Chains A and B, each alone.
Chain A
Amino acid sequence: MEEVDIKVLFDIYKKMNLIRKFEQKAIQLYWEGINRGALHTYIGEEAVAVGVCSALRKGDYISSTHRGHGHCLAMNGDPNLMLAELLGKENGYCRGRGGSMHIADLDLGILGANGIVGGGIPMAVGAAMALDYQEKSNVVACFFGDGATSTGAFHEALNLASIWNLPILFICENNFYAISTCVTNAIAIQDLANRAKAYGMTSQIVDGNDAIQVYQETKKARDIAISGNGPVFLECKTYRTEGHWVADPQIYRDRKEVEEWRKKCPIEALKNKILQKDVSKKKLLESIEKEVEQIILQAEKFAKESPEPNPKDVQKFVLV
């Protein structure tokens, strides 16, 4: 496999750290009673979003899920605007209307997070259809969980994408649980990549805790998709090391299992890989970590100091 440019690796490392710290801040603010609603964090799965999005090019799009903060940050989403949105502020991405599950930024290629499991998949196919029609050399990366592969929308969308050879990457984040439902109780096959075979689609199983592997496989998949060879399905096996939502009692899984996966932390793994190659990069990595901490503190300050929306404007934006 070809070497990954060191600059790309540093950028990947930074974004993964950014996601981790962002989510930790969001959890802290949640317990302080500052943000509300559903908060699904991406802790433990950072390598998937960052690996995939780092392999995308300008003009590519992603569609996201209820667990969308990671995807957004990996697409260069602004942490200030994201945290402001989580706090329901007028300066947030959705001016406080959408909250955690509905952040979108078309300028950055983010078609939007989604509160409906499976809801984003058909829309991603539509976006790929538009790119194809407009003869753009671009793709859509469509993120969804293992749980979403049991929805009707998933199957209908995969079928369309494959009969029309659309430039779309189906990124399945198999974190083994859909809320309390273990994938083994929900799906009768072991590898979700096999779902793609039924639609005549190229597929690949990827170690979702290995950012470099995710990045390289996505690059390959992207090349296939833009050359008109139809959609590609990547099953990234990973794990959510926090609860489904912040206050999740997690009675459905063994603490030991969680601990085992914590040891496979994708951020630590990348750090070790970089240092194995060149131990002198330690300082640089540490400075990245510090920089990220500053970004998050700044985002917190921005979010807290941002104004609330005016209730008089509650019915703005319903229609164009």
Chain B
Amino acid sequence: MPIMTFAEALRNALYIEMKKDPKVILLGEDIGVLGNVFGVTKGFLDEFGCKRVRSTPISEAAITGAAIGAAMLGMHPVAEIMYVDFTTMAMDQIINQAAKMRYMSAGKVKVPMVLRTQGGAGSGEAAQHCQSLESLFIHVPGLKVVMPSNPYDAKGLLLSAIRDENPVIFIEHKLLYPIKGEVPEEEYTIPLGKAEIKKEGNDLTIVATSYMLQKVLNTLPVLDNEGIYPEVIDPRTLSPLDTETIFQSIQKTHHLLVVQESSAPASFAAELLAVVSENLFDYLDAPPRRLCGLSVPIPYNKKLEDASIPNEKDIINIIKDIL
């Protein structure tokens, strides 16, 4: 099977769907000649032309709104917001418009669009370029929120997202782009709203999102040596959440740890802990726990940045603390 980076897998998915479906168009800043800052759309402008690959001015609200309008007329736009931090410029379009069209029209209107964006810390770009904002979108009914953690999932999830009839926020972690993995050339989809057990185990359930899933996987050899066997789950879609897979796992392990890069208050981890406490209280042998980024704007200095984000050592420590 071919080896692709996360960025190449995304590119491959976009390419397949652009070839197959003329309704798919791309719009976003610097996606043309430059092929986006991470090379995801490199060569697309030449291949598909400027009507399908629309490089835009710095106008996040208009990019998002244009995608919504085109989607309402039956197109399947994939809009790109360079950093998730800049989705804040488009919040009216995302939250008041895209998310609500379907409901407000009692099902008459569909907004089949994807908003691809990139987030997370680790690049030293500080407070306005390194945030994890997925929880803002989870909070809003009418949006799907997807966060892949590896190249294989990235491709399958992106193809599903483009074909989905709803607005989908698709968040890529900047540190994942160079990560390599096996990815089939041909098309395949991974259903939205379906979690995956990345490693089976009986001792505790770990739910980790995006780049944090990679960090959790990194700890497995150490845990193995110590005779600790967690079950690791990647929710992949954060909203709607596949609680079934997660609940089944907890009923087996009786322990839960959620690991996310975003800060804890009112977040994905907070929500998951709440639903688990409400539904599985009697199954839990210990309080469900979460390991999150600190509640602090992401600092520039590397040591401070590292201190604000969970690392492998933190993961191992909290697991030992739970068990």
Contact = CB atoms under 8 A, between A and B. Distances in A.
B55 interface: yes
A44 interface: no
Interface residues of A, number: 42
Nearest to B88: A116
Nearest to A95: B301
B124 A311 contact: no
A115 B295 contact: no
A252 B31 CA distance: 12
B296 A181 contact: no
A102 B58 contact: no
B215 interface: no
Interface stretch (A2-10, A135-143, A148-156, A268-276): A148-156
Interface string B109-128: 00000000000000111111
Contact of A314 (B32, B55, B296): B296
A251 B34 contact: yes
Contacts of A309: 299, 301, 303-304
B58 A178 contact: yes
Contacts of B37: 179
A185 B53 CA distance: 13
Interface string B24-65: 000001101110010000000000000000011111111000
A97 B304 contact: yes
A101 interface: yes
A181 B30 contact: yes
Contacts of A313: 304
A98 B307 contact: no
A118 B124 CA distance: 21
A96 B301 contact: yes
27 contacts: A36-B123, A36-B302, A37-B123, A38-B123, A88-B301, A88-B302, A98-B300, A99-B125, A99-B300, A100-B300, A101-B128, A115-B127, A150-B59, A152-B61, A152-B89, A178-B57, A179-B29, A179-B37, A180-B55, A181-B32, A181-B57, A252-B33, A311-B304, A313-B304, A314-B299, A315-B295, A318-B297
Interface of B: 29-30, 32-34, 37, 55-62, 85-86, 89, 123-129, 294-297, 299-304, 306-308
Which 7 interchain pairs have the tightest Cβ spacing? A99-B300, A115-B128, A37-B124, A150-B57, A88-B301, A36-B124, A96-B301
